[in-house]
Homo-oligomer: A and B are copies of this chain.
């Protein structure tokens, strides 16, 4: 497995799988995405760092966190130069591990960089934030013949509205992108929600009061709607 993308889970250092820890221990090099160029700060690395052997090099890679379609040229510049760098390591025969928060197939940057790589990728799944959310709220996401949806407040308003109609429960990501619409839909559909911010981190909070949506909402906030 020359390049393995690993989900390190939602925040708690122990919510990482044995398989992920073993891959980290064996890797020649750990690749860590950073949100600000040169900041050398990464939540995923904070979770995984106790499992990384002392002499394993850690390489930070900056990935712009703006929607790809908003400035395709700018985003593509970074993705192709990061891809080139990864391909060079792979050509040297290095075993690379790329860390992602949560699960690598749920809203992950890695899904974009994959297309620039010349070698096949392996995945190790991780605990997605919404599974940890349900563990905290102690509310099932689905039972029996029910269904649930994972939606995003940056999505088209009509699609968000339809998702409210279709499912028994919903996980709402990026709550801070449109709290007003979320509040309207909770009221219109006679639904309740719990709001989870900064899960697994020191400033974790859980709120059940809808007025949470009127205040300043932390960036890492998801809602479980039921």
Chain B residues in 8 Å Cβ range of A78:
none
Selected from B17, B22, B143, the residue in CB contact (under 8 A) with A17 is B17
Is the beta-carbon distance between B125 and A134 smaller than 8 angstroms?
Answer: yes
Is the beta-carbon distance between B105 and A139 smaller than 8 angstroms?
Answer: yes
Selected from B132, B135, B146, the residue in CB contact (under 8 A) with A152 is B146
Copies in the complex: 2
**Is A123 an interface residue, CB under 8 A from the partner?**
yes
Q: Given A17-B9, A135-B105, is A152 in contact with B142 using a C-beta cutoff of 8 Å?
A: yes
Selected from B14, B128, B154, the residue in CB contact (under 8 A) with A145 is B154
Per the bound structure, the CA–CA distance linking A19 and B137 in Å amounts to 18
| A104 (CB) vs chain B CBs: closest residue | B135
| A13 (CB) vs chain B CBs: closest residue | B18
Chain B residues in 8 Å Cβ range of A185:
none
Is the beta-carbon distance between A147 and B143 smaller than 8 angstroms?
Answer: no
**Is A89 an interface residue, CB under 8 A from the partner?**
no
**Is A1 an interface residue, CB under 8 A from the partner?**
no
| A12 (CB) vs chain B CBs: closest residue | B19
**Is A108 an interface residue, CB under 8 A from the partner?**
yes
Is the beta-carbon distance between A125 and B123 smaller than 8 angstroms?
Answer: no
Q: Using a CB–CB distance below 8 Å, which chain A residues touch chain B?
A: 7, 9, 12-19, 21-22, 67-68, 103-108, 111-112, 114, 121, 123-128, 131-132, 134-136, 138-152, 154-156, 159, 162-163, 165-167
9 shortest interchain CB distances as A-B pairs: A14-B19, A105-B134, A123-B135, A125-B131, A147-B151, A111-B140, A145-B154, A14-B18, A125-B135
